[in-house]
């Protein structure tokens, strides 16, 4: 007897074909993203490394010298590409803003999760969400019209510089670090707190000795994430830092960061020239730093899990 059902079990059907199509479509989309990442690395690295291979700049000189004039050459005939001022500028604003933002963010997060988890959380949660959404040029504009004059009046100088950049970045990363800290604190199991309170500890002792301690990996991740954002922020910083490629004397003298020099310079150099390649080297440095931040976050997250 002929069995249609038996035959159909051995044949391809509409579902088989749709499954095949689906696999191909979804894999292609994923491959596009991976391809983008690979080509970003490839292009930025090939351009950025040209400074060292084609223009013969010494890597150590690039990292440690402070004269940035890659259009002209030094006594050895290689371009003057000393990126130290920008490196110091970038790390300076990043570290300082993170140092100020961390206590604020963690304190706000503690307030939202431990002190006033209902009312306080309901008010502050949308506040942080909104702050995260404000575009960075708006932060830059406010920095330019409020922070820079404030620094000028209070501390003297032009007002532009690392201090102004720090203030702007502080406000910029504060909401991000706060909301990630909130997540970290909320992940601490409730019974930790109950156990501590049951032993007669005050709320503050519980927060300080139990909650904060077990949330440390998560809080560290939040801070590093904030630092990575601060390090990579371009326009808001560029608008208030003063854009002088000099080693900063103090916090209120005009300075520059990797991103600010890139922002200003890329349009003014000819593709392929030594000056242009030197800028790509800065971009490569920026890329590598963002990798380092990423790696750190993953390391901490892994350790936190164990």
- Give the footprint of other proteins on residues 113-172 (CB under 8 A): 115-116, 120, 123-124, 127-131, 133-138, 140-142, 144-146, 171
CA distance 76 to 72: 11
Q: Between 61 and 171, name the residue whose CB sits nearer to other proteins.
A: 171
Q: Between 32 and 60, name the residue whose CB sits nearer to other proteins.
A: 32
The C-alpha angle with vertex 229 and arms to 46 and 259, in degrees rounded to 5, equals 50
User: Smallest distance, Å, CB 17 to other proteins?
Assistant: 8
CA distance 148 to 171: 14
Burial (Cβ within 10 Å: 0-12, 13-18, ≥19) of residue 286? buried
- Per CB under 8 A, which of residues 50..79 are in contact with other proteins? none
Q: Between 47 and 61, name the residue whose CB sits nearer to other proteins.
A: 47
Tokens found for residue 203:
């709320």
Q: How many residues bind other proteins (CB under 8 A)?
A: 97
Q: Between 80 and 128, name the residue whose CB sits nearer to other proteins.
A: 128
Interaction between residue 286 and other proteins (CB under 8 A): yes
Hey, which residues does 79 pair with through a beta bridge? 73
User: In this chain, which stretch among 153-161, 181-189, 196-204, 247-255 interacts with other proteins, using CB under 8 A?
Assistant: 196-204
User: Smallest distance, Å, CB 137 to other proteins?
Assistant: 5
Element spanning 81, H or E: strand 79-81
Interaction between residue 11 and other proteins (CB under 8 A): yes
The C-alpha angle with vertex 220 and arms to 215 and 225, in degrees rounded to 5, equals 130
User: Smallest distance, Å, CB 76 to other proteins?
Assistant: 28
- Closest by CA to 257, choosing from 57, 47, 93, 44, is 93
Whether the CB-CB separation of 114 and 207 falls below 8 Å is answered with: yes
Interaction between residue 254 and other proteins (CB under 8 A): no
Spatial CB neighbours of 261, under 8 Å, sequence gap ≥ 6: 68, 86, 243, 245, 279, 282
Q: Between 61 and 258, name the residue whose CB sits nearer to other proteins.
A: 258
Whether the CB-CB separation of 63 and 87 falls below 8 Å is answered with: yes
Interaction between residue 232 and other proteins (CB under 8 A): yes
CA distance 197 to 205: 9
User: Smallest distance, Å, CB 43 to other proteins?
Assistant: 5
Interaction between residue 270 and other proteins (CB under 8 A): no
- Per CB under 8 A, which of residues 23..42 are in contact with other proteins? 23, 25-30, 32-34, 36-40
User: Smallest distance, Å, CB 229 to other proteins?
Assistant: 8
């Amino acid at each position: 007897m002929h069995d249609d059902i038996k035959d159909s079990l051995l044949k391809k059907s509409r579902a088989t074909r749709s499954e095949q199509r689906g696999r191909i479509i979804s894999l292609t989309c994923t491959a596009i993203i991976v391809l983008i990442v690979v080509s970003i690395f490839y292009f930025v690295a090939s351009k950025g490394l040209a400074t060292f291979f084609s223009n013969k700049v010494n890597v150590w000189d690039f990292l440690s010298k402070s004269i940035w004039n890659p259009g002209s050459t030094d006594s050895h005939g290689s371009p003057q590409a000393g990126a130290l001022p920008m490196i110091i500028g970038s790390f300076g604003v990043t570290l300082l803003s993170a140092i100020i933002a961390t206590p604020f963010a963690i304190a706000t997060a503690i307030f939202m999760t431990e002190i006033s988890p209902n009312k306080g959380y309901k008010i502050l949660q949308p506040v942080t969400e909104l702050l995260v959404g404000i575009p960075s040029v708006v932060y830059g504009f406010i920095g330019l019209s409020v922070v820079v004059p404030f620094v000028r009046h209070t501390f003297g100088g032009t007002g532009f510089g690392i201090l102004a950049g720090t203030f702007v970045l502080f406000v910029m990363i504060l909401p991000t670090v706060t909301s990630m800290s909130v997540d970290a604190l909320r992940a601490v199991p409730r019974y930790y707190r109950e156990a501590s309170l049951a032993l007669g500890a005050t709320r503050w002792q519980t927060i300080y000795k139990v909650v904060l301690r077990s949330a440390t990996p998560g809080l560290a991740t939040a801070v590093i994430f904030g630092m990575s954002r601060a390090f990579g922020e371009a326009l808001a910083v560029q608008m208030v830092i003063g854009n002088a490629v000099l080693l900063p004397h103090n916090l209120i003298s005009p300075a520059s960061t990797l991103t600010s020099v890139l922002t200003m310079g890329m349009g003014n150099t000819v593709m392929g020239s030594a000056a242009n390649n030197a800028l790509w080297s800065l971009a490569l440095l920026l890329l590598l730093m963002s990798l380092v931040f990423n790696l750190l976050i993953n390391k901490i997250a892994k350790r936190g899990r164990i």
